[in-house]
């Protein structure tokens, strides 16, 4: 297996046309935006991509399109793991995974329901992994349809399997992150924090980067922090204060608000979504996101990023 780049990995959005179809020209423009902002990789077909609202055929076509258009210096991992039955999940992975993609990312909440034990989860994960023996894997604590955090037992199994390269952590708790990083020490598995407020401290603990919502709005600040926090600790603290405060935008009208911010940054996409009704994106929300976007432009000058 290969390895995952350290740094910033946006949870890639899916642009849609006004009619609600996938906008492939918009995907290409979004890839150009990520390249200009020097991201290290993209996490495609994740929750931000509205993967639960994409058909299997759409997911297959999207990842093939991304794989053909992605700049050479940017890695890609992919999920699209939405099926309910184990049989369908195996078929889904085989059809979605595409040459050039670094890993297929599974969701623990798809293998076991909220009231089922880790033993049940691991039994199904092992069956799944055995049926896709040639596919490198990642794992994502996706909050939908319910959040199932990775226990030490599950993480130890992932290590022993030798199949995993990537963990997207959504616990937002530094004590739990440290426990995971201590467990992962010396392995090939890298942990990426999805939470802005805890990012700097998690990097100091050994986290490998950021993979979250706000990298769709101003990824350059996350990239700088991930790669330079050691060499300029004072500036790192200031950048952390900025991104932590701005991350309150996550609680606004996502992903419509992120798409709107991108339009203000020259990415020609609609703000359409299959999760949210874009018509309900209020003028107040537009003003808030407009001001955050302008503040980001100013902050790039202040921080020389």
What pLDDT score was predicted for residue 19?
A: 95
Q: What is the mean pLDDT of residues 154-158?
A: 98
The DSSP annotation for 278-293 comes to: GGG--HHHHHHHHHHH
Rounded Cα gap, residues 129 and 118, in angstroms: 16
CA 190-98-48 angle, 5° bins: 60
Q: How many CA atoms lie within 13 A of 250 on its CB side?
A: 17
Helices (H), the chain: 24-36, 56-69, 86-96, 108-111, 118-131, 152-161, 174-184, 199-205, 219-228, 233-246, 256-264, 283-303
Q: Would you kindly state where each structural domain of the chain is located, as residue ranges? A: 7-303
Rounded Cα gap, residues 222 and 228, in angstroms: 10
Q: What is the mean pLDDT of residues 58-81?
A: 97
Q: How many CA atoms lie within 13 A of 138 on its CB side?
A: 30
Average model confidence (pLDDT) across the chain: 97
What is 7-303's CATH number, 3.20.20.70, 3.50.30.30, 3.40.640.10, 3.30.450.190?
3.20.20.70
Q: pTM higher than 0.75, yes or no?
A: yes
DSSP code at position 248 = G
What pLDDT score was predicted for residue 205?
A: 98
pLDDT band at 2 (very low <50, low <70, confident <90, very high): confident
pLDDT digits (tens, 9 = 90+) for 18-33: 999 999 999 999 999 9
Among residues 234, 280, 229, the alpha carbon closest in space to that of 257 is found at 280
What pLDDT score was predicted for residue 163?
A: 97
- pLDDT of 1 over the 80 cut: no
What pLDDT score was predicted for residue 258?
A: 98
Q: What is the mean pLDDT of residues 177-196?
A: 98
- pLDDT of 117 over the 80 cut: yes
What pLDDT score was predicted for residue 90?
A: 98
Does residue 82 contact residue 105 with C-beta atoms inside 8 Å? no
pLDDT band at 164 (very low <50, low <70, confident <90, very high): very high
pLDDT digits (tens, 9 = 90+) for 232-290: 999 999 999 999 999 999 999 999 999 999 999 999 999 999 999 999 999 999 999 99
Q: Which residues pair with 43 in a beta bridge?
A: 11, 77
CA 220-25-279 angle, 5° bins: 80
Cβ-Cβ contacts under 8 Å for 61 (sequence gap 6 or more): 22
Q: Locate 48 and state its tokens.
A: 């931000």
Q: What percent of the chain has pLDDT over 90?
A: 99
Q: What percent of the chain has pLDDT over 70?
A: 100
DSSP code at position 276 = S
pLDDT band at 6 (very low <50, low <70, confident <90, very high): very high
Handedness of CA 225, 141, 96, 29 (dihedral sign): negative
Does residue 23 contact residue 58 with C-beta atoms inside 8 Å? no
- pLDDT of 79 over the 80 cut: yes
Q: Is 7 helix (H, G, I), strand (E, B) or coil?
A: strand
pLDDT band at 69 (very low <50, low <70, confident <90, very high): very high
- pLDDT of 157 over the 90 cut: yes
Among residues 64, 78, 75, 148, the alpha carbon closest in space to that of 113 is found at 148
């Amino acid at each position: 297996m290969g390895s995952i780049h350290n740094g910033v990995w946006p949870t890639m959005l899916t642009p849609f046309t006004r009619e609600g179809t996938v906008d492939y020209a918009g995907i290409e423009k979004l890839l150009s935006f990520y390249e200009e902002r020097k991201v290290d990789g993209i996490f495609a077909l994740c929750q931000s991509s509205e993967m639960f609202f994409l058909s299997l055929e759409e997911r297959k076509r999207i990842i093939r399109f991304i794989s053909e258009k992605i700049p050479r210096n940017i890695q890609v991992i992919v999920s699209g793991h939405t099926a309910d039955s184990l049989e369908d999940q195996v078929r889904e992975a085989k059809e979605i995974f595409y040459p050039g993609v670094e890993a297929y990312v599974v969701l623990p909440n798809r293998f076991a329901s909220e009231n089922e034990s880790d033993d049940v989860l691991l039994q199904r994960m092992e069956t799944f992994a055995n049926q896709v023996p040639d596919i490198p894997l990642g794992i994502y604590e996706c909050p939908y349809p319910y959040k199932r955090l990775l226990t030490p037992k599950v993480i130890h199994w992932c290590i022993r399997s030798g199949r995993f390269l990537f963990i997207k952590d959504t616990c937002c708790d530094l004590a739990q992150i440290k426990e995971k990083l201590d467990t992962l020490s010396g392995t090939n598995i890298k942990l990426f924090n999805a939470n802005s407020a805890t990012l700097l401290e998690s990097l100091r603990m050994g986290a490998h980067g950021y993979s979250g919502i706000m990298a769709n709005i101003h990824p350059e600040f996350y990239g700088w922090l991930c790669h330079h926090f050691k060499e300029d600790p004072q500036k790192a603290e200031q950048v952390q204060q900025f991104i932590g405060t701005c991350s309150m935008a996550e609680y606004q009208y996502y992903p419509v608000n992120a798409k709107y911010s991108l339009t203000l940054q020259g990415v020609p996409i609609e703000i359409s979504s299959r999760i949210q009704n874009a018509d309900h994106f209020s003028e107040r929300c537009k003003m808030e996101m407009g001001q955050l976007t302008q503040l980001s432009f100013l902050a790039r000058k202040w921080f020389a990023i």
